[in-house]
């Protein structure tokens, strides 16, 4: 199947690398809104300007749209769905229903199939929530994120005057995680589930105490959390904090029995060295499903909830039954 990448940031690079892992996939090209001459792929793959994409209609089986959820995807995905089967990783949870409707209308108009909000959250974590809630209707869900870099929180620190650079890790609080894993179904706010670790580089002469206070009292981002601020050098930040690790856990505690006397815990966890590369790996696996389901006649928008798991696998039905079931 022929894959195209639209947008070449960290996620696009991850898609470029992930397609190499699948023998049944071929990367047709990278499409960029920048000057294609300034884009240098990691592997031997052609780069085109975004306006060249229309020439590839019918030549790309699935386009993977790698853009930001704030402003890019709400416009890009519906536009591109008119001409291409595609996948995006739209992750602004509260706007998913609206995004779904816009993409659904565009895909139905174009006779294409579009998977929105793939990745790990939304994506694999959503699947874990849905399976667990369906199986244990009497229960309670918890999502923990981290230990991982939050781009939004890192950016918020960088906007403080006197801050040169910063990296923020969201870290699950061990005691909260242990209580949930033990099936105690505690009541927990987001702030009681996570703490925030900040590594901050400041300008010469800037006041660390003032900056630490400004971080710790920042509404929405930090005020409701246990927040640690560590001042380090730019060299240390680059050496120790330039990766993009992430992960987390979705846990459901539920009960069965005549009187709810038996407790069960279902947990799905991820520990990721590279958030964008793993997210890209999910998108690429789903590309196989989208191409197959379109070939079966399906059009419109879909979510990961609509995709039979078998559609993701390169194995035949016989191999799946014999080796995976």
Which of residues 17 and 86 has its CB atom nearest to its own copies in the complex?
17
Shortest Cβ 307–its own copies spacing (Å):
6
Which of residues 100 and 225 has its CB atom nearest to its own copies in the complex?
100
Shortest Cβ 255–its own copies spacing (Å):
8
Which of residues 208 and 260 has its CB atom nearest to its own copies in the complex?
260
Burial 36-68 (b: 16+ CB within 10 A, else e): beeeebeeeeebbeeeebeebeeebbbbbbbbb
For binding to its own copies (CB under 8 A), which residues are involved? 14, 17-18, 21-22, 42, 93, 96-97, 100, 117, 122, 124, 126-131, 133-138, 181, 183, 256-258, 261-274, 277-278, 280-282, 285, 288, 303-310, 312-314, 318, 320-322, 324-325
- Is there a contact between 106 and 135 (Cβ–Cβ < 8 Å)? no
- Is there a contact between 34 and 52 (Cβ–Cβ < 8 Å)? no
Shortest Cβ 218–its own copies spacing (Å):
28
Which of residues 56 and 95 has its CB atom nearest to its own copies in the complex?
95
The residues near 120 (Cβ < 8 Å, ≥ 6 apart) are: 270, 272, 278, 279, 282
Which of residues 115 and 156 has its CB atom nearest to its own copies in the complex?
115
CA triple 169-172-176, angle to 5 deg: 160
Shortest Cβ 26–its own copies spacing (Å):
15
Shortest Cβ 83–its own copies spacing (Å):
24
Which of residues 229 and 251 has its CB atom nearest to its own copies in the complex?
251
Shortest Cβ 229–its own copies spacing (Å):
28
Shortest Cβ 130–its own copies spacing (Å):
5
Burial 87-106 (b: 16+ CB within 10 A, else e): bbbbbeeeebeebbebbbeb
Cβ atoms within 10 Å of 286's Cβ, excluding its own: 22
Which of residues 202 and 270 has its CB atom nearest to its own copies in the complex?
270
| Alpha-carbon torsion, ordered 87, 90, 95, 98, to 10 deg | -20
- Is there a contact between 128 and 134 (Cβ–Cβ < 8 Å)? no
DSSP-assigned states of every residue in 33-85: SS-GGG---SSS--EEEGGGGGGGTTT-SEEEE---TTTHHHHHHHHHHTTS-
């Amino acid at each position: 199947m022929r894959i195209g990448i639209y947008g070449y940031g960290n996620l696009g690079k991850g898609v470029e690398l992930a397609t190499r892992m699948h023998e049944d996939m071929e990367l047709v090209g990278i499409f960029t809104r920048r000057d294609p001459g300034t884009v240098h792929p990691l592997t031997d793959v052609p780069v085109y300007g975004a306006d060249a994409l229309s020439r590839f209609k019918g030549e790309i089986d699935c386009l993977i749209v790698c853009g930001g959820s704030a402003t890019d995807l709400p416009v890009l995905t519906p536009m591109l769905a008119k001409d291409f089967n595609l996948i995006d990783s739209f992750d602004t949870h509260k706007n998913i229903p609206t995004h779904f409707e816009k993409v659904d209308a565009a895909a139905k108009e174009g006779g294409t199939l579009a998977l929105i909000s793939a990745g790990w959250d939304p994506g694999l974590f959503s699947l874990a929530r849905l399976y667990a809630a369906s199986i244990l209707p009497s229960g309670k869900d918890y999502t923990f994120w981290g230990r991982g870099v939050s781009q939004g929180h890192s950016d918020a620190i960088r906007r403080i005057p006197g801050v040169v650079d910063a990296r923020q890790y969201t870290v699950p609080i061990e005691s909260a995680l242990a209580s949930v894993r033990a099936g105690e179904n505690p009541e927990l706010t987001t702030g009681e589930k996570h703490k925030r670790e900040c590594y901050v580089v400041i300008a010469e002469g800037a006041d660390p105490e003032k900056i630490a206070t400004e971080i710790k009292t920042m509404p929405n981002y930090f005020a409701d959390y246990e927040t640690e601020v560590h001042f380090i050098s730019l060299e240390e930040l680059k050496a120790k904090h330039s990766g993009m690790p992430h992960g987390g856990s979705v846990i459901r505690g539920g009960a069965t029995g005549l009187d709810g006397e038996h407790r069960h815990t279902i947990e799905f966890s991820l520990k990721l060295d590279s958030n964008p590369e793993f997210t890209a790996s999910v998108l690429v696996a789903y590309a196989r499903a989208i191409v197959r389901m379109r070939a079966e006649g399906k059009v419109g928008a879909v979510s990961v909830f609509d995709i039979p798991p078998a559609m993701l696998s390169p194995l035949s039905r016989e191999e799946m039954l014999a080796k995976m079931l």
